[in-house]
Structure 1
Amino acid sequence: MDEPQDLTEMEILPQPGAHGFDGARERGRHEMHGPFVLPPGPQGFSFSLYQSTGAALMPGHRLELLDNGAVFDRMLEDIHAARESVHILVYIWRPCDVSDRIIEALVERSRAGVACRVVVDPVGSEELSGDKDFDQKVEKVLCEAGVEVHYYRLLAGKVMGRLLGRTHQKLVIIDGRIAYTGGFGFWKVWEGNGQSPEEWRDTSVRVEGPAAREMQLSFSRYWQESGGGLLPPSTFPEPALVGDSEACFVESSGKLGITDAERMVRMVIAAARERLWIANAYFSPPNEILEQLEEKCRQGVELRILGPGPIHDVKVIRASQRSTYERLLDAGARIYEYQPSMMHAKTMLVDDWLAVVGSTNMDSLSLNKLGEGSLVINDAEFVRKMERCWAKDLRVSKEISLENGGRTNPWRRLARRATQLVGHDR
């Protein structure tokens, strides 16, 4: 028998049962597994990502990594300089100082003749917060100045599928050429530097180049579904090649089966050969991804997980997150919990060249039900900047071991079961 060729050309898949019929194994033959190994390097990864999601790395980008409240200062500079359009799609927008600054900028631009369009999710902006002031303190002011504002999927009837089928994206696009994404919302917790309980730790990215056009397209789809018309051609300028970075935007929406968000996560994990560092606000991945992470550890990849510590906005999800620790620690992962505030970032760092920044949480709800978006980046300098942020974060994080909070218990197992049921339907 011939020996297998280069391992980098193979998928590592579970083997079917050798004897008799095994229902679970038989079903497994017809479901997505891994892949645990991809062709090497950016080109092989890009081709694999394209096959799975339709998005491929493109050259010509200029990128800025923005931590915590710095994203708003940079964003407002761009909004004030807008000539053609400002488009905003956001999950959480609640009255606060950040909101006032954004409103002031949009009102000024709208009165100057710039087309300003806003889509907000009513669950994040009103229903869950219990704050019904968005329509009076934000929407009314914006509309009076000529800004067009729409809600995404009003909760008429509050059917469960509609309640879960939200948009969790965070997009700001200026003139179709500059775009922002990350974990931010327009609320007070995203101000500051992420070093106190009232100021969340988060990561965002500013991008110029072809991916900004993809992000504009994503906004357009939500805009149409929310009652807006077709955007004019001028909002889709030909993308300029402005930098040396490669990037692409992966949009995902909830559906039966495997979403593009989950496909993207699996491909990014599969690309890791030396290290895989994951910072995520709601880390409770489906079992298939958890198994893939364990496999990466067995392959010798350095796996680090950074999640929220005791300051968390959803306690059941923190318990679900901690239910994964024992398996991952046994496999060889290193796990840290951020201590000063709620750690809300959604980033991934692979080897010395690949990074992900966006809105995609690593839990079943985000990966299977919500509208999400992430910028996938090939840029060694950007990765080095993320690495420096990791070093800063770890100085105020607690490493978890099996003897120090890493073992599971009945409450954590129950919490994980509940969070998996909310999002998983295949």
Structure 2
Amino acid sequence: MSSPVDTKNRHELEHFDLYTEGDVLYEAMLKSIESAQHHILLESYIFADDEIGSRFAEKLIERARAGVIVRMHIDAAGSLFWASRGLVKHLQSNGVAVRWFHRWSWRNPWRYNRRNHRKLLVIDKRYAYVGGYNIHRENSRAVYGEQRWRDTHVGFSGVLAEEAMHLFGRFWIGKRRPQLLHYLGSESMLLSNFSRGGRRFLNGTFADMLSHAKQHIYLTTPYFVPDRRTQRLLGDAAQRGVEVNLLVPRKSDVRIAQWAANAAYEPLLEKGVKIFEYLPRLLHAKSTVVDGSYASVGTANLDYRSFFLNYEIVLFTRNLALSRKLQEQFVKDIGESEQIHLERWKYRFWGTKILELVGWWARRWL
């Protein structure tokens, strides 16, 4: 358990900023990096050697040269085709401590399948960012254009930022012993699944959100490959009268994951779950809002890999202001989506159903 904090002042210490445009987020992150005086701790599944990655690299180097401790953790599989040895060597030769997570090894090849999917930036343990955004050009309207990816990130200060620093540190040194970094009586908590206990607690907290919903569930996920419990929880909620709205992408960067997602539609539609496919761009956001007062934002997708394999980090909060902002964004996204109706879905092309079976069969490896 983390060090004691006066829980009466906890609410006053928490502040959240919601980001749904990559350019706005990146500018905020870069300004935060510029202001760092002691520590910059960065985790990213993808850190690309492109226009965006280069801007971050130069800012990180600038602060490292000024004596700030800069640590950067990137995933070997996630950044395989995005990062470059040249960029990493440039960072390392200028004082940035860069660590690859689970690089390929013939001695232990299976560890390559367990990935650091976390996206986290902590500045001097006073401000932190977490969410779905990677560091690459696909999120920038200025660089990538109107088809930039649709994603969600949250920035926060106060004690939660201190928790983020601790979570980064434990992951950096590989300390797996369970440590639940939240405070009794608080309205928010930051959860990671680095340990077995943490994985159970993270998955259980999400399940608890769904099982206690009374009015509505607004769920956004780019990779929808739910396990049996999640399917049951969503279906049960819809059948007890909860409005369950699921937002998924029409376009996907992983085609086989899209096939697997489609295979899960029909049984949920039959139970009353409403499914919407986001049309304008590639959807990469991961968020949930329950009854307008309980929300989650983070790196975990609604799939087997996030539930059982990847290492994730998720913010759960009962902060009304943030929950309402996320709900407003969901309603906006629904306005740019197309609803999937059971009557039409049942009569889709038989060849499509075969592809769905292939995707569902491979769901544990996506």
The Cα shift of 1:391 comes to 2.3
Give the distance between the partners of 1:222 and 1:183, measured in 2 at CA: 18
Tell me which of 185, 188, 203 is aligned to 1:247: 188
* 1:204-238 Cα distance to aligned partner (Å, 9 max, x none): 00011222222212211221139xxxxxxxxxxxx
Tell me which of 217, 220, 236 is aligned to 1:279: 220
Q: Which residue of structure 1 lines up, in the alignment, with residue 290 of structure 2? A: 350
Using a 3 Å threshold, how does the CA distance of structure 1 residues 195 and 92 change in structure 2: closer, same or farther? closer
Give the distance between the partners of 1:331 and 1:105, measured in 2 at CA: 51
Tell me which of 238, 249, 268 is aligned to 1:308: 249
Give the distance between the partners of 1:203 and 1:387, measured in 2 at CA: 12
Q: Which residue of structure 2 lines up, in the alignment, with residue 229 of structure 1? A: none
SS at 2:225 equivalent = coil
Name the stretch that deviates more: 356-365 or 183-192. Answer: 183-192
Using a 3 Å threshold, how does the CA distance of structure 1 residues 195 and 87 change in structure 2: closer, same or farther? closer
Tell me which of 261, 264, 271 is aligned to 1:321: 261
Using a 3 Å threshold, how does the CA distance of structure 1 residues 417 and 150 change in structure 2: closer, same or farther? same
Using a 3 Å threshold, how does the CA distance of structure 1 residues 62 and 331 change in structure 2: closer, same or farther? same
Using a 3 Å threshold, how does the CA distance of structure 1 residues 394 and 146 change in structure 2: closer, same or farther? same
Give the distance between the partners of 1:67 and 1:396, measured in 2 at CA: 15
* 1:11-67 Cα distance to aligned partner (Å, 9 max, x none): xxxxxxxxxxxxxxxxxxxxxxxxxxxxxxxxxxxxxxx9xxxxx9x6331001101
CA contact (8 A) 1:194 1:340 kept: no
Using a 3 Å threshold, how does the CA distance of structure 1 residues 341 and 174 change in structure 2: closer, same or farther? same
* Residue identity matched to 2:18: L
Confirm whether residue 168 of structure 1 aligns to residue 108 of structure 2: no
Q: Which residue of structure 2 lines up, in the alignment, with residue 68 of structure 1? A: 21
CA contact (8 A) 1:305 1:335 kept: yes
SS at 2:77 equivalent = helix
CA contact (8 A) 1:76 1:105 kept: yes
SS at 2:245 equivalent = strand
Tell me the TM-score normalized by structure 1.
0.76
Tell me which of 96, 106, 110 is aligned to 1:147: 96
CA contact (8 A) 1:319 1:416 kept: yes
Give the distance between the partners of 1:187 and 1:414, measured in 2 at CA: 30
Matches within 5 A, 1:29-68: 59=11, 60-68=13-21
The Cα shift of 1:387 comes to 1.9
CA contact (8 A) 1:182 1:374 kept: yes
SS at 1:217 equivalent = helix
Q: Which residue of structure 2 lines up, in the alignment, with residue 112 of structure 1? A: 66
* Residue identity matched to 1:169: R
Confirm whether residue 77 of structure 1 aligns to residue 31 of structure 2: yes
CA contact (8 A) 2:32 2:123 kept: yes
Give the paired residue count: 345
SS at 2:148 equivalent = coil
Name the stretch that deviates more: 360-369 or 102-111. Answer: 102-111
Q: Which residue of structure 2 lines up, in the alignment, with residue 187 of structure 1? A: 136
Q: Which residue of structure 2 lines up, in the alignment, with residue 378 of structure 1? A: 318
Question: Which one has a bigger Cα radius of gyration?
Answer: 1
Q: Which residue of structure 1 lines up, in the alignment, with residue 126 of structure 2? A: 177
Give the distance between the partners of 2:50 and 2:144, measured in 1 at CA: 19
RMSD of aligned C-alpha atoms? 2.7
Q: Which residue of structure 2 lines up, in the alignment, with residue 207 of structure 1? A: 156
SS at 1:102 equivalent = helix
Confirm whether residue 401 of structure 1 aligns to residue 359 of structure 2: no
* Residue identity matched to 2:159: P
Q: Percent identity?
A: 28
Give the distance between the partners of 1:329 and 1:196, measured in 2 at CA: 35
* Residue identity matched to 1:422: W
Give the distance between the partners of 2:294 and 2:361, measured in 1 at CA: 32
* Residue identity matched to 1:68: E
Give the distance between the partners of 1:215 and 1:120, measured in 2 at CA: 16
Confirm whether residue 392 of structure 1 aligns to residue 335 of structure 2: no
CA contact (8 A) 2:189 2:317 kept: yes
CA contact (8 A) 1:254 1:371 kept: no
Using a 3 Å threshold, how does the CA distance of structure 1 residues 258 and 146 change in structure 2: closer, same or farther? closer
CA contact (8 A) 1:110 1:116 kept: yes
SS at 1:145 equivalent = coil
Q: Which residue of structure 2 lines up, in the alignment, with residue 417 of structure 1? A: 361
* Residue identity matched to 1:164: N
Using a 3 Å threshold, how does the CA distance of structure 1 residues 254 and 315 change in structure 2: closer, same or farther? farther
Give the distance between the partners of 1:185 and 1:294, measured in 2 at CA: 32
The Cα shift of 1:156 comes to 1.1
Using a 3 Å threshold, how does the CA distance of structure 1 residues 331 and 196 change in structure 2: closer, same or farther? farther
Tell me which of 37, 46, 57 is aligned to 1:103: 57
CA contact (8 A) 2:52 2:137 kept: yes
* 1:367-404 Cα distance to aligned partner (Å, 9 max, x none): 00110010011112212211221122122211111234
The Cα shift of 1:193 comes to 8.7
Tell me the TM-score normalized by structure 2.
0.87
Tell me which of 291, 303, 312 is aligned to 2:232: 291
CA contact (8 A) 2:294 2:318 kept: yes
* Residue identity matched to 2:219: I
CA contact (8 A) 1:261 1:360 kept: no
Give the distance between the partners of 2:194 and 2:25, measured in 1 at CA: 25
The Cα shift of 1:265 comes to 1.7
* 1:301-357 Cα distance to aligned partner (Å, 9 max, x none): 110000010x21111111111111111111111111111221000100010211100
What stretches of structure 2 of length at least 5 have no aligned partner? 2-6, 176-181
SS at 2:277 equivalent = strand
